[in-house]
Amino acid sequence: MENQVLVAGAGPVGLTMALELARYGVAVRIIDRIADAEHSSRAVAVWPRTLELLDRSGVSRELVERGNKVTVANILSGGKPVASISLEKIPSPYPFVLMVPQYETEAVLRDRLAGYGVVPQRGVELLAFDQDEAGVSARLRAADGTESSERFSWLVACDGAHSVVRHLLGLDFKGDTLGLDWTQGDFHLSGYPFPSTQMAVFYHADGPLLFFPMAPDRARVITSLGPATGVPPAALDQQAFQKLIEARGPGGITLAGTVWTSAFHINERQVESYRSGRVFLAGDAAHIHSPAGGQGMNTGIQDAINLAWKLAQVSLGKAAGTAMLDSYDVERRPVGAQVIEASGRMTRMATLSNTALQHLRDVMVHLLLGVPPVQRALTGLMSEVSVGYPESPLNGPPLGSAKPGSRVPPVAGTPPFGSGRAPLFAACGGAGAASLATRFPGLVEVRQPLPGSEDLLSLVRPDGYLAAQGPDEDWVLMVPLLTRLQGND
Ligand SMILES: Cc1cc2nc3c(=O)[nH]c(=O)nc-3n(C[C@H](O)[C@H](O)[C@H](O)COP(=O)(O)OP(=O)(O)OC[C@H]3O[C@@H](n4cnc5c(N)ncnc54)[C@H](O)[C@@H]3O)c2cc1C
């Protein structure tokens, strides 16, 4: 269909992309080459900013009901406490990291998507594509093996780490493979020395051991296997995990059943551009990194949310393509790079092999994480509530002290920014806000002034980032920004 977006890949990122587009009334088709949905638990951590953003489509409440809230992260070394990080002070309605298996996250997204009449077409593979100024011609192979060529307005590649779209575009996926092999599993267990609201990292000379509780008697356990051998590592069985837990852990933990295990090595790679004409890359197709910090799926979901409202405004004729769609790469690529850097640093710190450096690390981590601003900076980074887009071409002029591009926290008692059926900017203010909405019907809605900025007009994007803020009576100063986005300038 000519005016339809093709989403390739029905993992968490593709499902989020399709859901956001469908919610905003954009025709979307989502395909996945695998006939059946994945049932392995893979990414288990859902961080506060992801929950804030998924609240716009009503997903978060259901996810929270299915997951386990973790509010403390303990770090221990040689059996002694090194640091304890509290997540409860994260400035969000979701001050915790939610542990929920990825198949549950995908199931909730799929259910919501079905509510808009869109069902992923399983067993349908994207084989190739061509693009021109007007659209994308995609070669698809259906589940019965028949091939067809179909036309779409845009293609969003959510086709994972081995993205065929990225290969076909010839885009570089620069980066490295880290030197250790890893194994992980979800187990039933007893004797975990913390409540199920607390996760734990045990530093050990032979390699770290991590516990992410998913229920009082169930946890994700991750540990390193040693230097990479060059062949894909094999997952350990329960008995072998038990041995490593006894050697590296606090003692007293007994594994009582295996839900799922896997093994992996860590790649740190990022694609050179998130956009190529009418084709966009999101999620693992664009960036892969260490699972330390559990950021992969979260960053991918936030890629999708960043792109979807822009693509919706352009598809629905509310905004012109250039500035709006170019901003996706400008905003999200630095975030991906930052996640790769931070998760890589955490992994390298946890896997130091030199005894003197291990000791120094323990001292530094203890000292630094004892300083509240350092804890705040770390939890802000991990929860992604400190992510912002200061260099965005969508930012208006700085009219006051607020920084365009910064996150606007959800406002209690009001619907999330960007919720509902239209991708609207929120003009939060008084008479000036009303004038702005009248000037840009279908693009801007009026809302109450933001708490703490009662005299100001704050223009908030559909994904909850500040586009501009200034005195309410100076609303005309925001007109050029919206005019430019509409493409009338
Ligand atoms: C074994 C394993 C364990 C993991 N563990 C963790 C973890 O502990 N913590 C963590 O944060 N992250 C983990 N991850 C990573 C996490 O699962 C990913 O970050 C997340 O799934 C990214 O979502 P995505 O939608 O971008 O890609 P994916 O979930 O990979 O989805 C891509 C989809 O695209 C489909 N597809 C591919 N090519 C085509 C095509 N040509 N046509 C149509 N469809 C196509 C695939 O079938 C797949 O369903 C793990 C990943 C794996 C594989």
DSSP per-residue letters across 362-411: HHHHHHHHTSHHHHHHHHHHHHTTT---TT-TT-----SSS-TT-B-PPP
**C-alpha to C-alpha distance for 5 and 314, rounded to whole angstroms:** 12
CB 42 less than 6 A from any atom of ligand 1: yes
Look at ligand 1, atom 50, and give the residue with the nearest C-alpha: 42
Strand 254-271, strand 173-190: pairing: antiparallel
Residue to substitute in 20, 104, 159 for testing ligand 1 pocket (most ligand atoms within 8 angstroms of CB): 159
Look at ligand 1, atom 9, and give the residue with the nearest C-alpha: 43
What 3-state DSSP class applies to 453?
coil
Name the percent of the chain lying above pLDDT 70.
99
Select from 159, 164, 371 the least CA-distant residue to 379: 371
Select from 300, 41, 309, 260 the least CA-distant residue to 159: 300
Contacts of 419 (CB under 8 A, 6+ apart): 55, 56, 57
CB 43 less than 6 A from any atom of ligand 1: yes
Look at ligand 1, atom 8, and give the residue with the nearest C-alpha: 43
Q: If pLDDT is split at 50, 70 and 90, which confidence band does 489 have? A: low
Domain 175-267: CATH superfamily is: D-Amino Acid Oxidase, subunit A, domain 2 (3.30.9.10)
CB 106 less than 6 A from any atom of ligand 1: no
Q: How far is the CA of 24 from the centre of ligand 1 (A)?
A: 25
Give the residue-averaged pLDDT of 434-457. 96
Bigger pLDDT: 488 vs 224:
224
Give the residue-averaged pLDDT of 107-112. 98
Q: Which CATH architecture has domain 5-44+101-172+272-347?
A: 3-Layer(bba) Sandwich (3.50)
Select from 159, 158, 141, 139 the least CA-distant residue to 149: 139
Q: What ligand 1 atom has the least distance to the C-alpha of 15? A: 25
CB 297 less than 6 A from any atom of ligand 1: yes
60-80 pLDDT tens trace: 999 999 999 999 999 999 889
42-60 pLDDT tens trace: 999 999 999 999 999 999 9
- Give yes or no for a contact between 43 and 297, defined as CB atoms under 8 angstroms apart: yes
Q: How far is the CA of 247 from the centre of ligand 1 (A)?
A: 32
CB 101 less than 6 A from any atom of ligand 1: no
**C-alpha to C-alpha distance for 459 and 481, rounded to whole angstroms:** 10
Q: How far is the CA of 10 from the centre of ligand 1 (A)?
A: 9
Domain spans in the chain, listed from the N-terminal domain onward = 5-44+101-172+272-347, 175-267, 388-489
- Give yes or no for a contact between 223 and 182, defined as CB atoms under 8 angstroms apart: yes
Give the residue-averaged pLDDT of 173-181. 88
Select from 342, 351, 42 the least CA-distant residue to 180: 351
CB 31 less than 6 A from any atom of ligand 1: yes
Q: How far is the CA of 473 from the centre of ligand 1 (A)?
A: 48
Q: What ligand 1 atom has the least distance to the C-alpha of 282? A: 26
How deeply is 79 buried, as exposed, middle or buried, from its count of CB atoms within 10 A (0-12, 13-18, 19+)?
exposed
**C-alpha to C-alpha distance for 393 and 391, rounded to whole angstroms:** 7
Q: How far is the CA of 284 from the centre of ligand 1 (A)?
A: 7
CB 12 less than 6 A from any atom of ligand 1: yes
pLDDT of residue 374: 85
pTM, whole model, 2 decimals?
A: 0.96
Look at ligand 1, atom 15, and give the residue with the nearest C-alpha: 43
372-389 pLDDT tens trace: 888 888 888 889 999 999
Look at ligand 1, atom 2, and give the residue with the nearest C-alpha: 42
